[in-house]
Amino acid sequence: MRSLKGKTLFITGASRGIGKAIALRAAADGANIVIAAKTTEPHPKLPGTIFSAAAEIEAAGGKALALAVDIREPEQVSRAVDQAVDAFGGIDVLVNNASAINLTGTLETTAKRFDLMMGVNMRGTFFCAQACIPHLKRADNPHILMLSPPISLEPRWFAPHLAYTMSKFGMSMCVLGLAEEWRDAGIAVNALWPKSVIATAALAMLGGVVKPAFCRKPEIVADAAHAILTRPSRFRTGRFLLDEEVLAEEGATDFSAYAVAPGQPLLPDLFLG
């Protein structure tokens, strides 16, 4: 049984959703989880704070360090990485999960929303990697995992929401560049993306256009992430992986338990439909 016991994971946006699910799966092994997220007070529409997530991680069997971090600010990221190393002795895994989404066309995208998506998705991903790599170089099995989609230059992925697509593909470009740059150092850099839409509280922020009954639970992404992060880091790098395909490689054939409403048709993810 491959395990993350004793490993330290620095996870952005781990206070809720997919990030928290990845944290809880690692915590079940006895991992150390650094929760790097902004939410210190309950959001009026979204559940969870860094402190409530820390309590769940501890209850699941892991150790938690809750850090209030705006990943758009390199100084805050650097300080959080230093705190993580002081607390746990190093960093073995970086999970760039934090993301901002706004599915608007060009004329409807405000400068504030544009900057938020570019700042969190692309800038935050880059500077979190920059801060963690010196410590990952010293880890036994170092991984960076981006929650970003396979890159495609087909116009249909850009036309409906150009700014969001650019920001997410920016994360994916970091996968390509970092994987090659740090290949010889043995740091695996891969992307993971859900094959079907995942039911998280953030769906409600999209105005109810997606019904949870046609989605899967975040646990499918968490289990796939666990499989990737427990493989030897020199096994695979620079790849764009889908959750279902990763689990199929692990021998899974029945994914019905991950469905919110088993038997209902599943919606393909935004970048895979």
Catalytic residue annotation: 164
Please state, in angstroms and rounded to a whole number, the distance separating the CA atoms of residues 241 and 248.
11
Cβ within 8 Å of residue 231, ≥6 positions away: 2, 188
- Backbone phi and psi for residue 83, each to the nearest 5 degrees, phi listed first: -65, -40
Label each residue of 90-131 as H, E or C: CCCEEEECCCCCCCCCHHHCCHHHHHHHHHHHHHHHHHHHHH
CA distance 239 to 175: 8
Q: Could you tell me the maximum CA-CA distance found in the chain, to the nearest angstrom?
A: 51
